[in-house]
Structure 1
Amino acid sequence: MTGSEALTRGLLAGYQHLVRPALFRARGGDAEKIHEDMIQALGLVGHVPQPVLGLGTAAMARRSSTLVAGIDFPGRVGVAAGLDKNGVAARAWAGLGFGFAELGTVTAFGQPGNPKPRVFRARESRGIVNRMGFNNEGATALAERLDGWGVRRGNRALGIPLGISLGKTKVTPLEDAVEDYLTSLRLLADKADYVAINISSPNTPGLRSLQDGEALRELVTALVAETRELDPSDQVPVFVKVAPDLTTEALDEVLATCVEAGVRGMIATNTTLARDGLVGQDRSLATEAGGLSGAPLTVRSREMVRHIAETTDLPVMGVGGIMTPADAQAMFDAGASLVQLYTGFIYHGPALVRGINRLG
């Protein structure tokens, strides 16, 4: 075993046997409160000093860069939307070895999200069920936070590219969704290296209908056109995030619309409404509303990434069920240019980031 491999195993063991049990017991086991505490702690730390426990330097070992949609990503593994909704910990992600971070999902106006409790760990299944409902402080608050840190598109003020995921405000009627997304885009486009259009969360009523036919065409055409208005010479790339529950036929329609509208890439996938991946005592969560993430999504997300890569020339960010470096490699083999972590990071910590970076 090399010293690098030993360090990776040590980080994983330390997180799984010491850090994670302590986190999962804290706050009476309330998953959402624990998550909020973690994000706030990372926010207070700011730029995580890389020498601390060797985490930063270790996690970036052998990291390889890649060019996607005109963006130079210093590493191929990033933070998925939902992990840092308000950008509170945005200054910390580079120091943990991530090559990019997608902040949000943020909406035009701040909102509290769905009633609590709304986050449930499926430990045996290595998953999470959530029905958060885009709880966030709003696009203006995120813009002001990033402004305070001097973030501008392309300047790498926080060390890595930043994507920003945009969603629809819950109280905004579906017929006004386009203007709602445009409001957020106008506030944040000059701070984002790319924007992700989230039309696939299952936790905002009616949102997934925006993946359908004319509604999708109107939305993505308007957003891409607005990026040209905002910066005619170098518009911010637009990515679209899709649901894993789409049929192949529906996915093909989405892809055709995105290509026609000038979308620069896809993100596959969001959480699933399916519950067949729950095992053991976790089956009691089958009746909880919300989206399921983590290991139960591994195969489906990879299948969708492969289909997108084989069907179009659009680059794909693979997200969903990446719990091990082998899962990430399978995503890359399926055609993903980049991968993102959420649930895998919760369960396995920085060692997973390091392990994926070591894939080269």
Structure 2
Amino acid sequence: MTFFETAVRPVLFRVGGGDAEQAHEFTLNRLAGLPPAALRLLSRQYAVSKPTEVFGVRFPNPVGLAAGMDKNGVALRSWPALGFGFVEVGTVTAQPQPGNDRPRLFRLRDSEAVINRMGFNNQGAAALAARLRDLGPLGIPLGVSLGKSKVTPLEDAVQDYLTSYELLHPYADYIAVNVSSPNTPGLRTLQDKSAIAALLGALVGKTPVLVKIAPDLSGPAIAELLEVCLAYGAAGIIATNTTLSRDGLAAPDQPRGTETGGLSGRPLTERARKVVHFVHQETGGKLPIIGVGGILEADDAARMFDAGAALVQLYTGFIYRGPALVKAAVRASGKATAAR
């Protein structure tokens, strides 16, 4: 086990009496406050280079931080020092919103999983744009995940996304269109053919636009969505978001597994990999894929790359394994590439 797992994680898991969201906020605040000297030390320990180019963007390595970890971009200077080759902020909405009532984030330790029903809590697109403007160049590619404001009716979703897009695309290397969170009522209906066509028709153009899909879609539904993505010029697919399924939970976690929300972590590993493989096969490799879901070991990352992912992202794996996982996943990407 790593130093993070034996010494740091137990402390973080006790923050706030074990409240997962308080620990999350505590960690972000500490990372945001790290001085340059500390960032340089971390970078010497964790940064690893394996450059790759995907959808016209140059990445120093193919392992990124998934959306949801740093929604408002408060700790952006720290993520490159922890080894990430790119970072995705958000999901952000056109209107600031508090999200769902607390508690809304739950660890399932025996399953190495997390359930969240955050509900796109964020400070809004204008606030994020101002922060990114003041921050200046990050040094690694930045993705921005866009969602629909809860107060916006579904019939007005395109304009809502477009408002966020216009504010944020000048600061983004790519835009992620999140239509697959299970925590905003009706949002997943935007994965339907006509809805995603309207969204892509409005957003595709100035900055690469990727579509983030749910792991719970059937094969035919994914295939139909991919047809639209190819026809409307999407730059790629992010596969996958969290799942509504509770398959694969360890017995001690099953009572807490009844909490509503999206499940991430180890129970999603195999399903996410299968979706990545399906997307890669269905499109003949024409749509680059960011693979995300259940990556907790170097081998999980290697299998995701083998399935067809050009890049991968970490979220729950980072919570349980820490920054050593980032370096291990980058190294696994090299082995997976060499084996093809």
TM-score of the pair, normalised by structure 2: 0.95
CA contact (8 A) 1:124 1:279 kept: yes
User: Paired residue for 2:266?
Assistant: 295
2:185 to 205, 230, 241: 205
What letter matches 1:320 in structure 2? Answer: G
Q: Note the C-alpha offset of 1:282.
A: 0.5
> Which ranges in structure 2 are unaligned for 5 or more consecutive residues?
335-340
- Does 1:193 find its partner at 2:173? yes
User: Paired residue for 1:348?
Assistant: 321
CA contact (8 A) 2:143 2:174 kept: yes
- Separation in 2, partners of 1:197, 1:241: 6
CA contact (8 A) 1:46 1:89 kept: no
Q: Note the C-alpha offset of 1:306.
A: 0.6
Q: Note the C-alpha offset of 1:46.
A: 6.0
The alpha-carbon distance between structure 1 residues 206 and 47, as it changes in their structure 2 partners (threshold 3 A), is: farther
1:282 to 214, 229, 253: 253
- Does 1:40 find its partner at 2:29? yes
Equivalent residue runs for 1:51-130 within 5 Å: 51-52=40-41, 55-61=42-48, 63-130=49-116
- Does 1:248 find its partner at 2:219? yes
Q: Note the C-alpha offset of 1:221.
A: 1.3
Could you report, residue by residue, the CA deviation over 1:246-281 in whole angstroms, capped at 9, with x for unpaired residues?
A: 000000011001111100100000000000121121
CA RMSD of aligned residues (A): 1.1
User: Paired residue for 1:168?
Assistant: 148
- Does 1:145 find its partner at 2:116? no
- Does 1:334 find its partner at 2:307? yes
Could you report, residue by residue, the CA deviation over 1:80-129 in whole angstroms, capped at 9, with x for unpaired residues?
A: 00000000011111111100000000000100000110011010000000
Q: Which 4+ stretches in 1 moved above 4 angstroms?
A: none
Q: Note the C-alpha offset of 1:309.
A: 0.8
CA contact (8 A) 1:47 1:92 kept: no
Could you report, residue by residue, the CA deviation over 1:217-245 in whole angstroms, capped at 9, with x for unpaired residues?
A: 11111111xx3xxxxxxx21000000000
- State the identity as a percent: 57
> Which ranges in structure 1 are unaligned for 5 or more consecutive residues?
1-11, 151-156, 228-234
CA contact (8 A) 2:39 2:78 kept: no
Equivalent residue runs for 1:290-329 within 5 Å: 290-312=261-283, 313-329=286-302
What letter matches 1:59 in structure 2? Answer: Y
- Separation in 2, partners of 1:261, 1:65: 28
What letter matches 2:104 in structure 1? Answer: R
The alpha-carbon distance between structure 1 residues 29 and 100, as it changes in their structure 2 partners (threshold 3 A), is: same
- Separation in 2, partners of 1:19, 1:185: 37
- Separation in 1, partners of 2:116, 2:249: 14
The alpha-carbon distance between structure 1 residues 46 and 209, as it changes in their structure 2 partners (threshold 3 A), is: farther
Q: Note the C-alpha offset of 1:358.
A: 2.3
Q: Note the C-alpha offset of 1:50.
A: 4.5
Q: Note the C-alpha offset of 1:49.
A: 3.4
Q: Note the C-alpha offset of 1:322.
A: 0.3
- Does 1:179 find its partner at 2:179? no
- Separation in 2, partners of 1:171, 1:277: 34
TM-score of the pair, normalised by structure 1: 0.90
2:10 to 3, 8, 21: 21
- Separation in 1, partners of 2:269, 2:209: 25
What letter matches 1:245 in structure 2? Answer: D
CA contact (8 A) 1:47 1:95 kept: no
The alpha-carbon distance between structure 1 residues 310 and 48, as it changes in their structure 2 partners (threshold 3 A), is: farther
Which one scores higher on RCO, CA 8 angstroms, separation ≥ 6?
A: 1
SS at match of 1:289: coil
- Separation in 2, partners of 1:340, 1:84: 13
- Separation in 1, partners of 2:153, 2:37: 41
What letter matches 2:199 in structure 1? Answer: L
Deviates more, 1:38-47 or 1:117-126: 38-47
The size of the alignment, in residue pairs, is 331
- Separation in 1, partners of 2:308, 2:37: 32
CA contact (8 A) 2:97 2:121 kept: yes
Could you report, residue by residue, the CA deviation over 1:302-355 in whole angstroms, capped at 9, with x for unpaired residues?
A: 000011111111000000000011100000000100000000000000110111
